[in-house]
Structure 1
Amino acid sequence: MEIKVLGTGCAGCKVLHETVKQVVAELKLAATVVKEEDIMKIMSYNVMALPALVVDEQVVAKGRKLSLAEVKELLTK
């Protein structure tokens, strides 16, 4: 599983990245977590609201911070 947190470095993006890393560790998921800050790469996902969460190249959330429970639910679907 490849997980990307899209964001330009804002506080919300950093929080989401840390939350995702925590969930991956807690659930012992075989996943790679990437923090994508390159605006051109972010735009390639057609995302206009940050932060955004991408799982295996599918945008699963955008434009808001996610709670620990929400991230767990998204990553275990």
Structure 2
Amino acid sequence: MLTIKVLGSGCANCKRVEQIARKVIEEMSVEAEVVKVTDYNDIMAYNILSTPGLVINEKVVSAGRIPTPAEVTTFVVNALEAA
């Protein structure tokens, strides 16, 4: 099972990243837990300079922008292959 974290304060962009991640894992039928990380100190632990951030299995795969669904699909496939 993958752990997908969306890093951000809950802004519109952060919510969009969460929606994209949830849609991709649903379409791929991948078992994953999506967690919202809103605590500033927790976000800073990932060394990202701007939100939204996307972390899959503790690896930062995107930061400071909204990745496309195709990009998120690639991130998920890569994480599954690495697991």
Unaligned 5+ segments in structure 2 are: 79-83
SS at match of 1:54: strand
**Cα offsets for 1:11-53 (capped at 9, x unmatched):** 1100000110011111011111111111110011111111111
Percent identity over the alignment is 42
Q: How far apart in 2 are the matches of 1:67 and 1:58?
A: 18
**Residue of structure 2 in register with 1:46 after alignment:** 47
Q: What pairs up with 1:58-69 in 2 under 5 angstroms?
A: 58-69=59-70
TM-score of the two chains, using structure 2 as the length reference = 0.88
Unaligned 5+ segments in structure 1 are: none
Which structure carries more helix by proportion?
2
